[in-house]
Amino acid sequence: MNQFSALKNTLIAFFLLLSALYALPNIFGSDLSVQISANGDAVLTQADLDKVKQSLNTQTISYKSVELTGRRILARFSDNKSQLSAKEVLKQDLGRNYVTALNLAPSIPAWLADVGGKAMSLGLDLRGGVHFLLEVDMQAVINMSLNKSYNELRTLLRQDRLYKRVDIKDDNLAVLFKTDDAKTQGLKLIQSELTDLVILDVPSDNPLQVAIGISESAQSEAKSNALKQNITTLRNRVNELGVAEPIIQQQGLERIVVQLPGVQDTARAKEILGAVATLEFRLVDEKNDPQTAIQSGKTPIGSKLYYFRDGRPLLLKTRVIATGENITGAASGVDSENATPMVNITLDSAGGRAMLDTTKKYIHHRMAVVFIENKVETVLENDKLVKKRSTTQDIINAATIQGTFSSRFQITGIDSAREARNLALLLRAGSLSAPIEIIEERTIGPSLGADNIAKGVMSVVIGFILVLVFMAVRYRVFGMVANIALTLNLVMIVAVLSLLQATLTLPGIAGIVLTVGMAVDANVLIFERIKEELGSNSNIQKAIAAGYDKAVLTIADANITTLIASLVLFSFGTGPIKGFAITLSIGIVTSMFTAIIVSRAIINKIYGGKKLEEISI
């Protein structure tokens, strides 16, 4: 009695050895490294690897190793000074087609890496970096949809001259038709051609006026598309910043979480992530005087009044030659003639054709570059939080067209080299489809991350040791067996987290501490049941078997209910709560395995198949 078959013992030993193997990478630590990856879908080759080595050797920067792994090149260094120097050198030598980022690379032996061994991924609170919670301005998305529908509606009804006026009122469109027949014909056209619009039953004093709104499905689709496009743009901007292993993910229907490990310059990250900027190229109105327009309060037809950043006014044509959407490339630099900052611009084919046609026709005229930025912020007005939206439109420069050009040219008149770099980055990464507001911001320093790790590990160790001492004193040999099972349980948790590459955070460590208590609780139930059976049964072997068999259902019930709760937390919780739920769920499954099966296998080896007079429990 109380003996497992050889096959069952072999399987238990196999799973335990496998767990030890995949938990092993976490003891080797990490190397300071620089990670190089290609922009877009480009694949790095041996030639890129040789180029990286040549750059480091030329500048006599010592390194531990440089290797091509998957879609990236990883250069490892012994000290922080070499790592920082290497990043600057490689960023300059490789150019903007590569993303160069600081990283921490696990120093796992090659043989262990070959069998899939990976260290656990550490969260921002343990590793250090910046956390942002961004909220997309969905009202701006609705406003853009309204403006788009406004233009489509006017174009559709203008063909047969059916309307007198179209206005935007309270997130809807108000159309005033000329006659009843025009109203009937117009509504049929809208229903057949503009399927995203719906006719609203809104009372009006004028029977010829109809309220038209955007359908719920069209609004939901517009919001979803804006959120997805913003996530894509933010990823491009983070790549330009050179951050290794960033986390950018949707949270709810209107928010985006951005976590940037290793980034400590919060101001720089905020400046780049939150900017909703684009450019417009317009011709200058040479025939009219801006001061006259200001004094009269009327701008000439076909022109609009803009200002330079120093306050100087200028009249520009309303027709836009090209916008930021036409820009495919942008790089900052210095103008060789007057040593001032500039940005080299490359346009797509459509923008290049428009620019070529304009410069041919309007040579020796002036063309202005307008920088447009949309912002949204929450302010307190009359004891209520109100979102304030603002748009700035500044003229960067207005230069005379000296010759024809199309897809490639330069923008000058920029105030500083930093502004030129930021502008080039924003134009390369693309503009956000809707303004975003940073509603939460946290910075975790590397020293604080290390302190968090030390305290987290200390909490696990102290809790673990106290449990070991209690079990050894209270249950003697059986208690020592429970301690072995508890140790193996921790090894299995680490192995599963490493295999899944689940991110370990401080709440995750809390989940592990809770698991330690729950794991030993199962053994306490079993051992107390064995004691009860010994009191009513003189056969020790039967008492041991009955203790395990009868306690299993109770243990299963308690763990399954906890597992259900942790799955609910994972389903509906956010980042930290998910981290806690993941480690707790993994711990519940592994603790049941070690407490019920592994501990019994050890007890069977010690007491199984023997005629016993007494046992140490």
| Beta bridge partner(s), residue 67 | 74
Q: Distance from CA of residue 462 to its chain's centroid?
A: 35
Residue 42 domain-assigned (yes or no): yes
pLDDT bucket at 546, cuts 50 / 70 / 90: confident
Considering the domain architecture, whether residues 301 and 406 belong to the same structural domain is answered as: yes
C-beta of residue 445 within 8 angstroms of C-beta of residue 127: no
One domain for residues 57 and 144 = no
Question: Is the domain of 102 the same as that of 157?
Answer: no
Last residue of a domain, one of 436, 466, 496: 436
Confidence (pLDDT) at 556: 87
Q: Please name which of 245, 231, 240, 273 lies closest in space to residue 99, comparing C-alpha atoms.
A: 240
Residue 412 resides in a domain: yes
Same domain for 361 and 482, yes or no, is no
Strand 303-308 versus strand 384-400 pairing type: parallel
Domain for residue 189, yes or no? yes
pTM of the predicted protein model: 0.57
Same domain, residue pair 281 and 213? no
Cβ atoms of residues 486 and 594 within 8 Å: yes
Question: For the chain, what is the mean pLDDT?
Answer: 82
pLDDT for res 446: 57
Q: Please say whether the beta carbons of 198 and 213 come within 8 A.
A: yes
Q: What is the pLDDT of residue 551?
A: 85
Phi, psi (degrees; rounded to nearest 5) at 118: -140, 145
CA distance 184 to 164: 14
Give 565-596 pLDDT, tens digit per residue.
Answer: 888 988 877 667 888 888 889 999 998 899 88
**Would you say residue 227 lies in a domain?**
no
Please check whether residues 13 and 145 belong to one and the same domain.
no
Cα distances (Å, whole numbers) of residue 143 to 213, 255, 374: 12, 18, 13
504 in Cβ contact with 526 (< 8 Å): no
Q: What is the pLDDT of residues 97-137, one digit of tens each?
A: 677 777 777 788 878 888 888 888 777 777 777 888 888 88
- DSSP letter string, 323-353: EGGGEEEEEEEE-TTT--EEEEEEE-HHHHH
Domain ranges, residue 600: 6-24+447-607
Classify residue 68: in a domain, yes or no.
yes
CB 322, CB 409: distance < 8 Å: no
Residue 480 identity = M
Query: What does the alpha-carbon distance between residue 373 and residue 431 come to, in Å, rounded to a whole number?
Result: 10
Both 283 and 426 in one domain: the answer is yes
Q: What is the DSSP letter of 320?
A: E
> DSSP label at 515?
H
Q: What percentage of the chain carries pLDDT values higher than 90?
A: 7
Contacts with 468 (C-beta within 8 Å, 6 or more apart), sequence order? 483, 486
Between 201 and 284, the higher pLDDT residue = 284
User: Do both 460 and 491 map to the same domain?
Assistant: yes
At residue 313, the pLDDT reads 92
The residue among 239, 259, 237, 240 whose CA lies nearest residue 248 is: 259
Instruction: Pick the most confident of 139-143, 263-267, 383-387.
Output: 139-143
* Helices and strands, number each (H, E), in the chain: 17, 22
pLDDT over 90 at 17, yes or no: yes
**In angstroms, rounded to a whole number, what is the distance separating the alpha carbons of residues 246 and 259?**
6
**The predicted structure's pLDDT at residue 408:** 86
Contact 256, 249 (CB under 8 A): yes
Percent of the chain residues past pLDDT 70, beyond the cut: 89
Show which of 380, 415, 436 is a domain's final residue.
Answer: 436
Is 64 part of a structural domain of the chain?
yes
Q: Which residues contact 607 (CB under 8 A, 6 or more apart)?
A: 2, 540, 541, 544, 615
CATH number at residue 199: 3.30.1360
Q: Is 130 part of a structural domain of the chain?
A: no
To which H or E segment does residue 260 belong? strand 255-261
| Strand ranges, E, within 129-208 | 129-136, 163-169, 172-177, 197-200
CATH of the domain at 85: 3.30.70.260
pLDDT at site 315: 93
Angle between helix 180-193 and 138-158 (nearest 10): 120
Distance CA 359, CA 239 (A): 34
Distance, CA of 375 to CA of 590 (rounded, Å): 50
Residues 6+ apart with CB under 8 A from 111: none
More confident residue, 343 or 431: 343
The answer to whether residue 31 scores a pLDDT higher than 90 is no
* Total number of domains constituting the chain: 4
Higher pLDDT, 437 or 490: 490
CB-facing half-sphere around the CA of 296: CA atoms within 13 A: 10
- Whether residue 414 sits in one domain with residue 339: yes
pLDDT at 40 over 60: no
Spatial separation of the C-alpha atoms in residues 276 and 272, rounded to whole Å: 9
Burial 397-422 (b: 16+ CB within 10 A, else e): bbbebeeebbbebebbbbeeeeebbb
Sequence-distant contacts of 249-255: CB under 8 A, at least 24 apart: 251/133, 251/574, 253/223, 253/227, 254/135, 254/136, 254/138, 254/223, 254/227, 255/133, 255/134, 255/135, 255/136, 255/439
Q: Is residue 116 part of a domain?
A: no
Instruction: Note the residue count of the chain.
Output: 617
Same-domain check for residues 291 and 357: yes
Residue with token string 């020790």: 540
Cβ 397 vs Cβ 371: under 8 Å: no
Angle, nearest 10°, between helix axes 599-607 and 446-500?
A: 70
Q: Which CATH number do you get for residue 574?
A: 1.20.1640.10
Structure token digits, residue 182: 């025009």
Residue 321 sits in a domain of what CATH number? 3.30.1360.200
Per-residue confidence band for 316, with pLDDT thresholds at 50, 70 and 90: very high
The type of residue at 602 is I
Q: Does 14 have pLDDT greater than 90? A: yes
144 in the same domain as 92: no
Q: Is 266 helix (H, G, I), strand (E, B) or coil?
A: helix
Amino acid identity, position 377: E
Residue 405 contacts residue 306 (beta carbons within 8 Å): no
Last residue of a domain, one of 203, 220, 237: 220
The confidence band for 389, taking pLDDT boundaries of 50, 70 and 90, is low
Q: How confident is the model at residue 15 (pLDDT cuts 50, 70, 90)?
A: very high
For 205, the 3-state DSSP assignment is: coil
User: For residue 305, what are its two tokens?
Assistant: 């009044």
Sign of CA dihedral 245, 246, 248, 249: positive
Beta pairing class for 436-444 and 129-136: antiparallel
**Residue 137: CA atoms inside 13 Å, Cβ hemisphere, count?**
23
Q: Tell me: do 145 and 192 sit in the same domain.
A: yes
